[in-house]
Amino acid sequence: MSPTFEHSTAEWQALDAAHFLHPFTDFKALAAKGTRVITKADNIYLWDSEGHKLFDAMSGLWCVNVGYGQQALIDAATAQLKTLPFYNSFFQTTTMPAIALAHKLSQLSPPGFEHVFFSGSGSEGNDTIVRLVRRYWDLLGQPQRHTIISRFNAYHGSTMAGASLGGMTDMHAQGGLPIPGIVHIDQPYYVQHGRPGESKDDFGKRAASWLEAKILEVGPDKVAAFIGEPVQGAGGVIIPPDTYWPEIQRICDQYGILLVSDEVICGFGRTGHWFGCERFGYKPDLITFAKGVTSGYIPLGGVLVGERVAKVLIEQGGEFAHGYTYSGHPVACAVALANLQLIEEQGLVQRVHDDTGPYLAAQFAALAAHPLVGEAETCGLMGAIRLVRRKAQGDQPAEAFAADQSVGMVCRGHCFGNGLIMRAVGDRMIIAPPLVMTRAQVDELMALIRHCLDLTLADLQERGWY
């Protein structure tokens, strides 16, 4: 059977189950259940093959920052596809969109970032980070500085280096990861690691001190870099206390190790700043980006290379033996330029900072009164709600549900069934809606969330779990 667009949903599902291995999926379980076929999108809404409209509170997969259907991006891709759909940048050639985007990124990035290395995705960007960091120390005559410190429950991608940098132990368990020279410290998640009576600020400093302890354990002369997401996205929107990152910066400076900010999710306005490191007040040496750079219309990623590394790499490096077929893909770069121009023209970063971000934060604060909600917090236009069995009372911390009850998935089911796409990470329900979202759409989102929380509560009560 060769597919035509006249197939029924059931036929599409059957073909999907027969041939398509989905990422991070139990193939057999999904085949039994059937996938949802998404057919079109506009602004912040999606439609499936059955005609259901869905509020996309996850921006696709944290990436559609300007929302769907933006003509400027479509026009940029079309024009570039017609004039020059592809040419590489390996053998002393280049293309105009790649040059223009490199220049534009140097203007938008924090001071001291003049260079970019392009990749096709965030994972490839983080592979580039590992190569760059190790090359840097080799060139400085310190090849023993090989170890990169990351954090448990971090997500840095799915390639061998990306998954190794990431701190997802279930990923490590499949395929002998992490690769050598990558170690992890605990995440700055107060719910998991905070002590009774400890202030968030004190916790932030204590969590940062785990980096210093790890540096001393590995040996300060053997550590190459620390990598972290400003806010952990896939880990469940873990927003660190404001004291965390400045202390991480101080420790990196003290031991001379490189600081890497993985901004694949936090970059390009998500936190109400162009980059998350600006929100949290630190100055990285390298920045990984992807997703929002093109609003996901077409794949593109890369690394912004700060002057400390760029100078050594350029002046002393000779040939850097690294690159991808699609490094600086002209169509992707043309779309990125149109996307960044749109973000600027519409003042989306400022809007998140001044208007929709604080508005969403206030709505989330009110949500904390819901019986199922332990904490509800946001950073710019990303947010998380922790579902709990009993709310905190006085000195008593909130009581979590049993992990095997998978209440996040129960809640996610009610969301999907009622026109709302939220992601569940354990018991954390998370959102990262498009930056074009209006206040009226924040209200619409909050009404949907409340409705789905009520349905989840009733469901859990019926099961005798609440």
Minimum distance from residue 162 beta carbon to ligand PXG (Å): 6
Alpha-carbon distance of 45 to 54, in angstroms, equals 6
Q: Is 262 in the site for ligand PXG (CB under 6 A)?
A: yes
Q: Is 379 in the site for ligand PXG (CB under 6 A)?
A: no
In single-letter form, the type of residue at position 445 comes to L
Piece of the chain touching ligand PXG by CB under 6 A; list 75-83, 144-152, 229-237, 456-464: 229-237
Q: Which of 262, 324, 323 is closest to 288 using CA atoms? A: 262
Q: Is 231 in the site for ligand PXG (CB under 6 A)?
A: no
Alpha-carbon distance of 248 to 250, in angstroms, equals 5
Which residue among 115, 145, 156, 386 contacts ligand PXG (CB under 6 A)? Answer: 156
Residues that contact ligand PXG, how many (by CB under 6 A): 19
How would you classify residue 51: left for phi > 0, otherwise alpha for psi between -120 and 50, otherwise beta?
left
Q: Is 233 in the site for ligand PXG (CB under 6 A)?
A: yes
- The SS3 call for residue 457 is helix
Q: Under rule CB under 6 A, which residues in 290-349 are in contact with ligand PXG?
A: 290, 301
Piece of the chain touching ligand PXG by CB under 6 A; list 169-177, 227-235, 372-380, 450-458: 227-235
Q: Is 228 in the site for ligand PXG (CB under 6 A)?
A: no
Residue 16: alpha-carbon gap to chain centroid: 27
| Triad 31, 416, 391: Cα angle to 5° | 120
- The SS3 call for residue 35 is coil
Q: Is 100 in the site for ligand PXG (CB under 6 A)?
A: no
The residue (of 431 and 460) whose beta carbon lies closer to ligand PXG is 431
In single-letter form, the type of residue at position 155 comes to Y
Q: Is 234 in the site for ligand PXG (CB under 6 A)?
A: yes
Q: Is 122 in the site for ligand PXG (CB under 6 A)?
A: yes
Q: Is 17 in the site for ligand PXG (CB under 6 A)?
A: no
Three state DSSP letters for 235-289: CCCECCCCCHHHHHHHHHHHHCCEEEEECCCCCCCCCCCCCHHHHHCCCCCEEEE
Q: Could you tell me whether strands 38-42 and 45-48 are parallel, antiparallel, or unpaired per DSSP bridges? A: antiparallel
Minimum distance from residue 384 beta carbon to ligand PXG (Å): 12
The residue (of 245 and 359) whose beta carbon lies closer to ligand PXG is 245
Minimum distance from residue 154 beta carbon to ligand PXG (Å): 8
Q: Is 272 in the site for ligand PXG (CB under 6 A)?
A: no
Which residue among 258, 264, 310, 445 contacts ligand PXG (CB under 6 A)? Answer: 264
Helix locations, 283-387, DSSP H: 307-316, 330-345, 348-351, 357-367
Q: Is 432 in the site for ligand PXG (CB under 6 A)?
A: no
Minimum distance from residue 22 beta carbon to ligand PXG (Å): 12
Minimum distance from residue 108 beta carbon to ligand PXG (Å): 18
- Which residue is nearest to ligand PXG, using beta carbons? 122
CB count, 10 Å around CB of 447? 12
Identify the helix (H) or strand (E) that includes residue 428. Answer: strand 428-431
Q: What does the binding site for ligand PXG look like in residue numbers (CB under 6 A)?
A: 61-62, 121-123, 126, 155-157, 162, 229, 233-234, 262, 264-265, 290, 301, 423
